[in-house]
Structure 1
Amino acid sequence: MNKKYKRVLHVIPSLGIGGAERCLHRFVLGQEYNEGSTVIVTLLPESESRVSKDLTELGISVLSLNLRSIWFFPISIFKLAWMIYKFKPSIVQSWMHYADLVATLALLISGRRKNTRLIWGVRCSNLDFSQYGWKLFFTVKVCSFLSAKADVIIANSEAGRSAHVKLGYASERFRVVHNGIDVDKFAPIGVEARNKFRAKFSIPEDAFIVVMAARFDPQKDYQTFLRVVGRLPECVFLVAGTDTEKLPRISNVIKVGVFGDMPTLFGSADCVLSTSAYGEGFPNVVAEAMACGVPAVATNVGDVSLIIGDTGYITDVKDCDGIVNAIISIKSECLHDKERRSKMSRRRILENFELKKMISQLIYIQS
């Protein structure tokens, strides 16, 4: 007789390439389930993505509320309420602020609140609301008022938990579950693969490559990044992420856009860089690169210091001098020290942020 699994309905803004989307993807793929026991609902109209394709191929229903603008907001809430009423989930689990708000209102309207656990997801830390308009500010304020209605609020960082408690979220509801990294997928690559990748972009085998993998967004502080680039003309900077084509043309910067093979991108580099100014919770790119044996230089936002430990360099936000000096320090190391730092970086992820640990923690919270 087949084991019966809990019905879980996940709510997320979209299934694009962001950290929350990949985390949900890994979580769902990494657990056992009965066909029909898991449904994923996106707020935004869903375009074909790798994440969406993987999930549907596995037999998981992916539905969309088609929330095209704020005027569709009431309709979307009632559509989701009807989905909850029909699906009768044991758990509604939402991912990020907008999804938390919509899922909560829909569950209350559905009439199934007494039968359904509500689990929220917080993915960021301190936000600069002036950069994102009134809608996000309003949503977070309403969520802080409603937060006591959630049975559990999962933050992917200690920094995220602390920041949201300061915003008025119910502190007793929080559980911190750090993102899990697929260490089989994100692993060091061989010399042949590394050189093949470099040849593809006409990069010399002995060039020192710094990878910056981040969407073009105020949070990522590309202004500081460009100042660093100008100070290190001898380094090659590979930039990957949504809208990064908007960056100016610079001789030592190669823009690869939304790149499909991140393990190879990281594995071909000598260093990963994160210049974020605020808002990070658990930056996946730092941990993923470290799992590939690539040391990190990152500004001290979110749980970066907890991820990196003593394996790389942590600087103050907007500290161009500190970032430049950190990159130069890694670049100047002898081969023995570089290999030692590479092994330390991967080992830290293996010991603290492996995917199976995240999955087991999330399953425990759902139980």
Structure 2
Amino acid sequence: MNLKTRLNQLQNQAGSRQNSPALSCQPNGLKIPHRVGQPNRDHNHRRHSDSRLAEQLRGKLIDEGVIQIEKQIPLNSTHGAMPLSELQTAPQLPGDDNLKLKNVYLDTETTGLSGGSGTLAFLIGYAWLERSAICLRQLLITRFSAEAQMLEQTASGLEAAERLVSYNGKSYDLPLLVSRFRINARKQKFDHLPHLDLLHTTRRLFRHHWPNCRLTTLEQRLLGYYRVDDLPGSEAPAAWFDYLQRGAEQKLLKVVEHNQSDIISLLVAHTELARITRNPDHSDLDLYSLARWIGEFDREQAYDLLRSRIDQADEKSKGYLAHLLQKSGDWQGATRLWQQLAQNRCPEALEKLAKYHEHVSKDLDAARYYCRQLPDCQARTHRLRRLQRKSGFQLSPDYPSTIL
């Protein structure tokens, strides 16, 4: 067979295939799933689904695949046991002098809980306080390609913010958003704003008395707020992917509701945490941690706090009160507390008494007495030897009264 004959045969075969029904690359009975983020819907169908979703959320479709939800929540309602009217008083935590800053409370829902370069925020929610209402705004995307538009809307919406308030936002939400802005070559200014992360505050005050410091634990134990029919945040990624692949709306509606509850809890928690730092009446509060926090900025206030609750103070709290008395020059009050603690063989109190009698009262016998009760270690041995040497000569009148 020459080349010309072979080419004619191939040409005839190609023509017969064009007239035959198209062959399916998918075996009978086998459904190959579409790639994530590319649901089997045409453009018009997808837009119709997004419009229906926006209507159910009482939002509006502001761009291809971007839904904006806005709410105003009046302050004459409650959140759990907390009246929202209390939000009208600017919350002030210890050392916080930013009372006049406009706080914006931020929370995100993402495609993964562990972060990473492939994780993005599909829902960004934030709120701020007006005179008579909480103003809440959420931006939800319904496709990957809409992320850049959502980020632009977020940057614009946060332009008036003067401080961000979040719950674990310093470690998770903000770094993720900054990364996504960078990947999408979009500019933002909120990365340089002051940032108050209430998770750090909660851990500082309650980590020794609560099983964990998750937001839901704070809501139940501090705000008296118990969620009903809530979709856990861990299920949010699957709910979003279900909508992308199958158009399933119900769980995604729950995700938006969950995000709204998170943000409102942020506002209420900020106010309540500030209140109990001024009036520490919560039974789970760590008095020592609060006193140390206040003492970083105002020793007198920390002293007043511990003195007013001396009956509730544990060993660490009494030790810190003695430290404050020592710093103020009240050695009599400090030694009285150290002696109380030394009865229970508190090592810190025993060491303080040994130092006091060696360097301040110059009673070397008392110093040796308390030093011998210290746990056996190299420092104890060294101190005892020094005291033995000192007891062999008369102390001069100008021996330095070192305050340790």
Say whether the fold is shared (TM-score over 0.5): no
Task: Give the shorter-chain TM-score range.
Answer: under 0.3
